Amino acid sequence: MNCLIGQSGGPTAVINSSLAGAIQAGIDFDFENVFVSLNGIEGLLSENIKIVDKDLFEKEKANERLRKRPSSILGSCRFKLSDDLKDWQYKKIFENLKKYEISTFVYIGGNDSMDTVMKLNSYIEKNKIDWVNVVGCPKTIDNDLCEMDHSPGFASASKFVNSALRQIRLDCDIYPIKSVTFVEIMGRNAGWLTATSYLANYKRKKDIVNLVYLPEDKKLLDDIEKEIKEKFEEDNNLLIAVSEGFMDKDGKLLNEKQKSFDKGFNHPIIAGIGLKISDYIHDKLKVKTRSVELNIVQRTSFLISKTDSDEAYQLGYLTIKYGKEKTNLVPILKRENSKDYKVKYFTTKPSNIANKEKKIPQEWLESREILKEKITNYTLPLIKGEIDQEFTDGIFDYIRLEDFTKNN
């Protein structure tokens, strides 16, 4: 009886916390071998698979060190399985699962990765397979996974974003001239991460972030210009957070030629809206503007929320615990209705997450004051605590895959 773990989709700062939890559960629940697939489902197809050395895992303190290590240590992919269950991919996948005597396969990923989990379970059901369970483990910085209160990885990304915003503000305030700095934050269709920019203002007498623009907003460029003029009456130096997926109502800033698409799920890879708005406001208001694009460091920062890491670890652990007995499930968390922050863990089907997106509740967007209050109360408990990091000669350091794995 062996288990296999893979990672898929975009990385997060705590995706390896889930991996650590799953590996530890594999050891605790007496799986003979714990295998890991490199580059997700592609690694399973090509047999790019390594085995966890249980002695090294303990000796190198990998359980603890994986929780310090951001981004996907197993590598990732954006591989979309065919909708046709008769496709060769499925036969090959299950042949390899059989070859390695896998009884539980854990796939850590977001809503696209849950599409993979869903399809593999459809194949299991269609072919009446009873020797392997396929389960998902959730993650994404976008916080757009349905069925759960929040997504693992979101809190650590928010912690980094707000720390960066406060640092950027320190630079913005040094010159006695009018200026606008636009900070572009990840979020293609859902503006959760950008909305948390209001946390930068928490317990500050003066606003760090003056305005926030989300994909959910329907604003004309004239509206943006007007709001910036109004904010200039309060402060000479403005800091504005904008989602990468924001677009003005008329689409005047749209440039299809600058888009590219990921290979598997054909999602547009978008960036540059901050620079476009910056140039527009510079031309209109004749003030100093600049754009800062936080980009991929948002999801690979070593500034990790301990709360986020603890929850991701627990979800990873539960995938093996539950996946040992059942297939077609994803462990999720929900917030308890209590004074102190607590969560409870449940399970749902991957079909309830796959290819779906959870947006910011419409009632939160009725006014910016409501959004500030709601998003602050929602996010603040999630970013509590820090993971102590490793440094070698003053340089950030981290565990390597070869520190706790070996070839078959």
Task: Report the binding-site residues for substrate.
Answer: 140-142, 186-188, 244
DSSP string, 288-328: EEEEEE-TTHHHH-S--BHHHHHHHHHHHHHHHHHHTT--S
Smallest Cα–Cα separation from 306: which of 380, 398, 387? 387
CA-to-CA distance for 300 and 313, rounded, in angstroms? 17
DSSP, collapsed to helix, strand or coil, labels residue 105 as: strand
CA-to-CA distance for 379 and 15, rounded, in angstroms? 19
Residues 6+ away with beta carbon under 8 Å from 369: none
DSSP string, 106-129: EEEE-HHHHHHHHHHHHHHHHTT-
Residues 6+ away with beta carbon under 8 Å from 32: 1, 2
Residue 160 sits at φ, ψ, to 5 deg, of -65, -50
CA-to-CA distance for 108 and 33, rounded, in angstroms? 19
Secondary structure letter of residue 358 according to DSSP: P
CA-to-CA distance for 112 and 8, rounded, in angstroms? 9
Smallest Cα–Cα separation from 182: which of 295, 271, 289? 289
In the annotation, is 53 catalytic? no
Binding residues: 10, 111, 140-142, 186-188, 244
Strand runs (DSSP E) across 215-323, as ranges?
A: 237-243, 260-261, 268-269, 288-293
Binding residues for diphosphate: 10
Catalytic residue among 115, 142, 144, 248: 142
Residues taking part in catalysis: 142
